[in-house]
């Protein structure tokens, strides 16, 4: 099964590139840029990744990204991740990034975009993976700041596949961002949003009604509203579920208690993702393997989750057809 899950062509739709910063690279970049880290060693950094909730993680996540200063840093960050993902059978990666978190530290948007763009092109050329870029807004910052950043990003709109919404969820409902999401829609840019991770099912509803999202990131708390579950199923709105993240941020007590089996049972379009692999104990493959351990799903189930991800990814139709054919081949050989 392990070999099958590795060979399965996997698309990752929910990945914060800043959350892929492994302590080894964090230390290397800190050295390169003369940034002081609050950890004595790589091991001490890993040991500090014991989270109580989303906010306690976000505190270290924002602190860690302080080592990213130049375009080369963003390039190294993304390239490092693309290589690891490629090695575990990931064929398509959609990276979210948090421009406001870097702008607040004086790192220009052009620096972020140059580094990430260069890594995307190199990964596509040298590793044969396809990529997409999601510009995420910080929901715990003012809505007018998100709008300013989005307008500032006008020269890059063509390279942005979607806008997203992340950071501290509670007390920051999707409704706060109606305007900037409407602006993205007007420009024909697709929309996704984190909702129903720590926040209530009502936030998932708001993301659909007010932000017109085509996918919901996490969304696991939709189960608290049966009518919402029906709607997600009927409208085939995909959820990008991140089981190891949910365990590490105590959204669920234990992987065995994860609602994935219930979400599957409800007939929802689900995908498996890593969220912040450097902080939550592994990449996409680790998330597939954790589900195998916990739920003992068969190959067909994993293949259908991988198929969902390819079907709802931001990629051109020829690439989609090729990856679906590859998936059928791997399943046929299994």
Residues taking part in catalysis: 197
Residue closer to ligand HPA, measured from CB, 215 or 307: 215
Alpha-helical runs (H) found in 8-70? 23-33, 42-48, 54-64
The residue sitting closest to ligand HPA, measured at its beta carbon, is 166
3-class DSSP assignment, residue 314:
coil
For residue 288, CA distances in Å to 6, 51, 213, 270 come to 9, 22, 25, 12
Q: How many CB atoms lie within 10 A of CB 35?
A: 14
Q: Which residues bind ligand HPA (CB under 6 A)?
A: 16, 19, 54, 61, 166-167, 194, 197, 245, 275-276
CB of 230 to ligand HPA, least distance (A): 26
3-class DSSP assignment, residue 165:
strand
Given the structure tokens 């003369």, which residue do they identify? 34
Q: Is 102 annotated as a binding residue?
A: no
Q: Is 16 annotated as a binding residue?
A: yes
Residue closer to ligand HPA, measured from CB, 150 or 279: 279
Q: Is 218 annotated as a binding residue?
A: no
Query: For 123-134, b where at least 16 C-beta lie within 10 A, e where not — what string?
Result: beeebebbbbbb
Which one of ligand HPA, Zn ion, none is in contact with 100 (Cβ closer than 5 to 8 A by kind)?
none
Q: Which of 148, 133, 59 is nearest to 97 (CA)?
A: 133
Residue closer to ligand HPA, measured from CB, 61 or 297: 61
Decide if residue 292 touches Zn ion (CB under 5 A): no
CB of 243 to ligand HPA, least distance (A): 12
For residue 27, CA distances in Å to 69, 79, 101 come to 13, 16, 20
Which one of ligand HPA, Zn ion, none is in contact with 19 (Cβ closer than 5 to 8 A by kind)?
ligand HPA
Q: List Cβ neighbours of 69 (8 Å cut-off, separation of 6 or more).
A: 29, 33, 35, 107
Residue closer to ligand HPA, measured from CB, 8 or 60: 60
CB of 158 to Zn ion, least distance (A): 24
Which one of Zn ion, ligand HPA, none is in contact with 206 (Cβ closer than 5 to 8 A by kind)?
none
Decide if residue 80 touches Zn ion (CB under 5 A): no
Which one of Zn ion, ligand HPA, none is in contact with 54 (Cβ closer than 5 to 8 A by kind)?
ligand HPA
Which one of Zn ion, ligand HPA, none is in contact with 131 (Cβ closer than 5 to 8 A by kind)?
none
- Measure the CA–CA gap between 204 and 226, rounded to whole angstroms: 12
* Residues between 202 and 241 that touch Zn ion (CB under 5 A): none
Decide if residue 275 touches Zn ion (CB under 5 A): yes
- Measure the CA–CA gap between 204 and 193, rounded to whole angstroms: 9
Strand ranges (E), the chain: 10-16, 90-97, 130-138, 162-166, 192-195, 215-218, 239-241, 270-272
CB of 14 to Zn ion, least distance (A): 6
Q: Is 276 annotated as a binding residue?
A: yes
Q: Is 98 annotated as a binding residue?
A: no
CB of 311 to Zn ion, least distance (A): 21
- Measure the CA–CA gap between 325 and 201, rounded to whole angstroms: 36
Contact predicate 306/327, CB 8 Å: yes
* Binding residues for Zn ion (CB under 5 A): 275
Binding residues for Zn(2+): 14, 16, 194, 275
């Amino acid at each position: 099964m392990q070999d099958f899950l590795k060979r399965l062509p996997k698309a990752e739709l929910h990945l914060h590139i800043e959350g892929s910063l492994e302590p080894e690279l964090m230390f290397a970049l800190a050295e390169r840029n003369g940034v002081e880290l609050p950890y004595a060693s790589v091991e001490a950094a890993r040991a500090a990744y014991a989270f109580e909730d989303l906010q306690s993680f976000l505190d270290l996540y924002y602190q860690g990204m302080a080592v990213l200063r130049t375009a080369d840093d963003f390039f190294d960050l993304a390239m490092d991740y693309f290589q690891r993902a490629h090695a575990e059978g990931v064929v398509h990666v959609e990276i979210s990034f948090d421009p406001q978190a870097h702008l607040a530290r004086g790192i220009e948007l052009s620096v972020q975009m140059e580094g990430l763009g260069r890594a995307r092109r190199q990964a596509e050329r040298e590793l044969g993976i396809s990529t997409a870029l999601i510009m995420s807004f910080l929901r715990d910052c003012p809505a007018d700041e998100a709008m300013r950043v989005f307008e500032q990003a006008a020269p890059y709109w063509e390279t942005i596949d979607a806008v997203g919404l992340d950071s501290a969820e509670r007390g920051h409902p999707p409704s706060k961002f109606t305007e900037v999401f409407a602006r993205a829609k007007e420009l024909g840019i697709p929309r996704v949003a984190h909702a129903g991770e720590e926040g209530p099912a009502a936030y998932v509803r708001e993301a659909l009604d007010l932000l017109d999202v085509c996918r919901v990131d996490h969304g696991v708390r939709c189960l608290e509203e049966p009518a919402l579950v029906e709607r997600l199923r009927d409208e085939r709105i995909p959820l990008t579920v991140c089981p190891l993240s949910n365990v590490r941020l105590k959204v669920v007590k234990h992987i065995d208690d994860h609602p994935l089996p219930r979400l599957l049972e409800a007939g929802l379009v689900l995908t498996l993702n890593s969220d912040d692999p450097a902080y939550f104990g592994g990449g996409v493959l680790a998330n597939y393997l954790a589900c195998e351990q916990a739920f003992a799903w068969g190959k067909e189930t994993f293949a259908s989750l991988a198929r969902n991800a390819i079907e709802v990814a931001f990629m051109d139709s020829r690439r989609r057809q090729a990856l679906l054919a590859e998936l059928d081949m791997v399943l046929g050989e299994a």
